[in-house]
Structure 1
Amino acid sequence: MVLPNQMHDDDNKALGLGYSTEEDMLYVMTSVNFSKRKKKMRLGQNLLQEQVRAQTPNPLTRRELLSQVSGVYDPVGLVTPTKQKGAILVRKAFQEAKKRGVPVSETWDAALSDELREEAIRLFEEYVQLGQIKFTRAITPPNSNDEAWAITFSDGSENAYGAVLYLRWHSNQGSIIRLVESKAKLTPLDQKGDVIKAEVCGAVFASRLRRYFEQHSRIRVEKWYHLVDSQTVLGAIQRESYGYKTFFANRIGEIQGVTKAQEWWWIPGLQNIADVITRGASPQNLDENSEWQNGPSFLSLPVDEWPIKSAKDLAGTARESIKELQKKAFAAALTRSEAKQKEPTGESEQTGYLNQVQAEPRRPPAGLAVRNLCDLKRFSDLSRLVKTIAWVWRAAKKFLGKNRTLNNPKWEAVCSTGTISVRERGDALRDIFLAAQEGINLPNTTRDRLVVYKDQHSGLLVCGGRVQVFEDDQVGVPVLPYDAWVSTLLARESHKESHGGLADTVLRMRRKAWVIRGRRIAQKVINNCVQCRKNRAKKCQQVMGDLPPERTQPTAPFEFTTVDLFGPYHVKDDVKKRTSLKVWGVVFCCMSSRAIHTELVNTQSTEGFLMAFQRFAAIRGYPKKIYSDPGTNFIGARPVLQELYKFLERVDKSALEETAAKNGTEWIWKIHPADSPHRNGAAEAAVRIVKKALQNCGGESALTYSEFQTALQIAANLANERPIDARAQSREDCIQYVTPNTLLLGRASQSGDIKSFDFCSYPFKRLQAMQLVVDNFWRRWSQLAGPNLFLRNKWHTAHRNVAVGDIVWIADQNALRGQFKLGRVVSVNPDNKGVVRDVDVRTFPSYPVPITKPLKAKANYTESKSCREKIPSTVLHRDVRRLVVLLPVEDQVNE
């Protein structure tokens, strides 16, 4: 297939554009070709989109980049948004060479950076796609007798400026919009930062498009609409051009020579289609259904519904602001040549102020007075500083009133006048800003971009931006230097309002003042904010620990057991059916074989658990070690069971040595840290399995106590029939698999044939058969299920160990972040590899504790310390994953 950008026959050309005779459509003939030239012709074929990246030269030079960009010929301006991207990229490439210090003679053949080369490749791929986009040739719809409306859009930015012309036709089917032409140009480098000049040049292009259209087209236009998104440009066009400086006077004069002032309208920037000219667009945004070819959607609506406003609607009755615009709008009342400001006269004014006695005293030079009144750096809060300055001004007014001097003040008269008013606070804040602006030296870029000028009423240096000149009753935002202390106070106050991020703090700062390099100050304040550091603090993490030996070595069933409770469930009484009671299930899980044993208790007391444990031990035997979470019933049962184990060890020691029924006498009860269910993962997983099995066998319905106990035992048996070999479950040809019942019953399932033995004829065969079953289980377990324990599924990275003396938060599950308990680590419990996984934290009560002896001097420090030690404290045992380290011990300052 031959693409349009590879057609070069004369029949397919129309005034430099590609023309499809079958569809009556135009397209731009683009080509990307890096082959050699012979008589100004490329010897190779044009590249396809998938060939561009592979055949782009490496290194890519500026000469080759400009050659490909210049190959896009678009006399009408159909693809101006994409074409401007290439022009912007070429200028960026030469700016890069200048920054890198490349000699002028070597600039053309120097290699582009990798970043610019990648951007150029994407541009070349878009050029190939550009040749496939078609545009309607006929700008006049068929059977249209009405006169058209012409609409121009213009815009300007730091990179480019331009304009586009559309025609709007009325028909029976509605309004039809046709793209006529567009024009764009790069913004000169010496005008970068002055967007107003670029927007005026864009308006000039709009007037030139109109003049060209009227000279060369026979289409009659009923109305003209020129739309801009700059209120400054719109206001300038409404006035005569003689009052402006040369640059603006010439261009506004040209605009007024072609168009009428009432034909210009303001439109929001988001609705201005000319914005894509200044920033560029991809070919996908220029297709037949795009807004670029069909115009903005509001053009099809009645003109009363267009989002446009006239200059009269924007300016209102503020005609004086429009008059000042002639001299002031673009000249920026504070230019580089007018940067020197008049300083106050100094001591004479201040002395005259202090010595003068009158009913309404005159204010001193505000900035000078604020500096002499107090040291601003002594204040850490802006509102307190403002309040202090306001009180001082009120006191000065009272002291210097009639028949009153500074030598005979009456402070009662000052305090009796009430609180500080809003106006007094505003005056105090203005004086503080004046003190901060003393000797300010703004960068040239700041003056050009912010339009800085001096307010006539307050004397402050303010910035108005692009809209300030139209607001007669609105004062611009004061400008503050970066190194002023009040800038830091303003950032603190703005951040304290919501403790938001960088953008939120900067926007809140700019409500009161525009701080030079304000983002840097805001970021510094956010980094030093204690509240934000607490909010951003993360819980401690640690690498996953090794499995305990009890989890990996062959042992007797339930020799190492973990236990947990679940529930409650509501069951009916066996006799009184209408009476219900709560019951809880107890799960005993073997750590090595993962076998499960369940019991039922009707209370969460220690006595109820002990009875369940005795039933478990009567069937499975006494375990050697028991692991559990720190439940009150488990902790209460621990001393009782320890005494029981000591009694068994003392009484049955000789019997244990002789019989094989009870093997070992080391009885240990291990309690995991509170609020750390992952430390008792085997029991938690067993609870989940039993609950699911209980649900499958219908045990959650309304049952009696005995019925529910039966269902619980059946659920435990179902859980013990589960395969513990994960790989065997995924193999369709696998028939035998390892289950906990393989060890408990000698077979995987409860059903099946049971071989019988004659004890008289073969006294040892039965014992050998049972031992063979156990050996086969552990051999198959080590081959099939054991390898699944090697992987660490999470917590792979080692972190800093929590150390003694760390200030931490205890992150309880049921507490909010602001309600976490604060404590200090008093001891750590490292494992055999030195990794700390649980610690002891000392916390103090949150309620106030009275101190009987006051703290008068440093000599009484030891006494106060002893009083502090008398405050009751609590030592909590917690896992490190439930702690948030606020202040490590190495960052603390010694007392």
Structure 2
Amino acid sequence: HIITEGIIKNPACNLIAQNTTLGWVISGVVDNEDKERSKVINVLHAQVDKEDDILKRFWELEEQTSTKQILTPEEKACEEFYSLTTRRDESGRYIVRLPFREENTLCISGNSRDIAEKRFKSLEKRLGNNKELKEKYVEVIQEYLSLGHMRPIAKDDMKKDKAFYLPHQAVVRDDKTTTKVRVVFNASQKNSNGVSLNDNLMVGPKLQADLRHTILRWRLYPIALVADIIKMYRQVRIAEGDAMFQRILWRDCPEKEIVDYELTTVTFGTASAPYQAVRTLHQVAFDEGDNYPLAKDKVLNCFYMDDLMTGCYEVDQGLEIYTQITELLGKGGFKLQKWNSNNQELIKEIKEMENEKDQGQLYINRTNKDIIYMDNIDKVKEISHEEVKEVEIKIDSTIKILGLTWNRSQDTFQYLVNLPPLTTASATKRSIISNIARLFDPLGWIAPSIVLAKVFIQKLWLTGVSWDEELNVELVKEWIDYREQLSLLTDVRIPRWIGTTLNQKLELHGFSDASKTAYSAVIYLRTIDLEGKIHVTLIVAKTRVAPVKQISIPRLELCGAVLLSQLLIETANILSIPKDQIKAWTDSTVVLAWINDHPSRWKTFVANRTSEILTNMKASQWFHVSTKDNPADCASRGIPPKSLLTCDLWFSGPSFLKKDNISYNRPNNLDKLNLDLEECVKSYVTVVPNNSIFERYSTLKKLMKVVAYCRRFLKNNKIYRGMYLQKVELDAALECCIRQTQKEIFTKEYTQLQDKGYLQIKSSVLKSLCPYLDNKGIIRVRGRLEKAQLSEQTKHPIVLPRCSPVTRLIIVEAHVKTLHGGLQLMINFLRTAYWIIGIRNLAKHHIYKCVKCAKQRANINNQFMGSLPSVRCTPARPFLHSGVDYAGPINLRTTKGRGHRSYKGYICLFICMVTRALHLEVVSDMNTQAFLAAFRRFVSRRGHCAKLWSDNGTTFVGAARELQELVSIQPSIAEHLESNGTEWHFIPPHSPNFGGLWEAGVKSTKFHLKRVIGDSTLTFEEMTTLLTQVEACLNSRTMSVIHVADPGEALPLTPGHFLIGEPLLNVPDNQFESSGLNHLSRWQFVQRMVQSFWKRWSNEYLSNLMNRYKWSCQVPEPSVGDIVLIKEDNLPPSRWLLGRILHKHPGSDNITRVVTVRTKSNTIKRPTSKICILPITEQKNV
């Protein structure tokens, strides 16, 4: 009944207005061709980790790039802008403009100079600390000035409101054979408006050729020829009006005034720089290439950024390429350098021509070690063998674990392995994926080994571990085994030249295969020279990991066939091989049957893929190969690097390719194959979640409002339309919720009360309440308080069940209204309106789960007391294992008599971990130097201390650090401490219970001092004397229980027995100097006495440490992710910090007593005795 009376028609525009209960609705046809369409732009800002970016490039390299690039509207606009605004100066050099997205850019109006100045002063500070770096940095900037690539700006010409200043910094490439410093300009730095220069620049389309295509073309030529452009970016000028957006600040020493400069060339670091440089290189070929046809093709197809990789068939042709390309690029101001080749005659001729033209001298190392720089493909590795050169090929500046190089003397490709140190602890998902993403194999020559890494990535994802979580032992072992074998790949050699010559027959043979884990495709080139010799060379390979969702092997084989067809067409186009010279092989007869029939016969999955295969190739070009002769089987199953080295099938292809006549087999019974795939019957269980409206909201108030609005909509109440909810509506909503709850929980009782008006079910929990239905259909308690002077609501409360979301919300509401009151207060408040079954337990449970109440209770549980450490239970020389702590402050006086000045001093306490003997020192301050002096006095008097325990006080941490620094500076100290050093241990922060031994010693020391000193102030000398006496008293305490026994029995054992052989406060014995004892017997007697002390220590003292006098019950273990309060001794619970447990640190007994907690500002360690776990559970709140 939505449509009501009322309709209006307009014949002019074919619109109809219909009245409804919701209002007027307009319908009809609207002509909107001339209307401007609205645009919706959604922006998602994401922070990408470095590992994510590296992994992205790894997968991008694995993808096919044969499809033609389609320009976006912005890329088209950038191309048009370049064509319209680019011009040349009188020397032929190109002048370009910055391609801004909009004319009125935000970066113009903001202030960027102040930010650049701040960054520059920070750079100055860094350069001031590194003299060598500063000298090289100044050299680079001076080169910019001398070449005219930047110019100073007069103060009168500076317009801060329109210019943009770029911060700059030094980038040191340590992976180079010589340390090379580059100045990098940061055009992504935001100005005061929060906008950077790069935000306003168009990036432009990608113009450089695919690296794989460039290498494939390079392999065609028997003679290789390489070079690179000198400072390619800086050969392109920036228009005068745009140089103001490339300003920098510079001075060569801090005493001078900062000067503003403008960069006058295309600047590395701006978003448009790569496009402008490559586009200008192409423009030279377009403008001047008609006079240099050979060079034009090389410029457009054989450059990767500023690096030339080409070749020729004869030396004369190479010289012609050199001449043409040098002259062509010279027209645009570009200059080539570092010419090199595998042909000595060609490179000799080029050197002579270089010298004649006076274009610079070819770079030759003084030690006859040739180096090739291929700047952006990067580049180079120096080798000590004479006349050997390696070129490292890269697509970016990322340091590769496995890289590809070209060995000039052998004319082969080989692999570089740069493995960082590996520890078991570092084997996390983040570190492993970071390593795998640095495996560089652009043409898939070692695909059988690389595919194992891809499969391992899939395994990591399926385990569900987080980025920095430790992996299980099996995965770590598998990764370490694989990683250790990567170094063997340095022995792989792939010939650069594939044996092609002019007028030679070329054939491409591709193979595909699939397994449960991956599918693959590999291509070999078969050449037949004029003498009839056959050469087979590995060209390119690709692998794909099988989807996580299970797919049948025949369908995976079909995916491999699709991959092979794509790869064959791409490779044939690059190598200019006719399509009829392409042969494809597979060991799957099912795939051959699918390909040899019309796609319309098959299901969608098979039909789509066979259609693509038949679009690329004819069915007659597909043949069958046995699995043992299929090299793609190596890549689909994966081969460890150790086994790959000896796999001739992979590197040389199947043996039948080397025969004069190849038998092209195709099964005869393809049409009779049973192509019905095995049916897999699966059963699905669907769990329907409980979407009750009562469980969607966390407070009763929200639930009442939602229900009230729903009721208003259903009733179409025009009286309250547009008004706030009234109390009447909210009360009716609550009654509706209660009524529905009672119907669901008390179904039988509600039905009987509706029918008969009374309850006859004897087993019902409501029987004793004499329930009845009121006039609103709500069950209430009849009870015995009819005549009491109470409200009707209290005399006949509403009945609520125990387990109901509505009951829970009502209890939550009551707890808040009673200001988080106690149990009885909540019950009394609820009983005024409701009779809840089992109210006491429900209310008690909610009070326990209330976070605010839990914060105020702040129950701290001490974990089960751990076992004593081994140093407490093992005999050792006194003070060999010691603990240290501070006590104080105490007031000391400078001199005796009147007019003295008092100052603060402290007591440094050393305690033996074995005998509990004490050593007390007075220190004048709590700094590191004062402690080190006390530590030297302690060691000098008590002997070497092997292990020292303390808390995390800044004094001790600083002392430990200073000792380590001292060791690193003085080798003699390091050599001494190597055999006799002190190993420092710190207990967890804020954990005095971990240092109970020295805490008890401090307590005992203070006990005596308070009674002896009182309010007196002693000098340093007097305090030292007194502390020595206190030390003697404490070292004379008994270590075991004293038993009243025979007077002749041995005296009670004390720490003094282990120091001097008797208690320090013992009565002097008689002198026996005149007694004639045998010296050897006397020494044996002393040794026996010492040994008896240790025997008594084991029997009497250790047995007293057996009992756990507190913390004898094990409390529940904390869990990672628990929300906790962090106890602070000087703050009330309401001001304690909240945190979340990140890691647990269990002891040797697998009981956690220390946890790592993340707070809102940092990550800290705390004992479990300093945290309070809050009762917060996952629940659905709206």
Greater RCO (CA < 8 Å, at least 6 residues apart): 1
TM over 0.5: no
When normalised by structure 2's length, the TM-score is 0.35
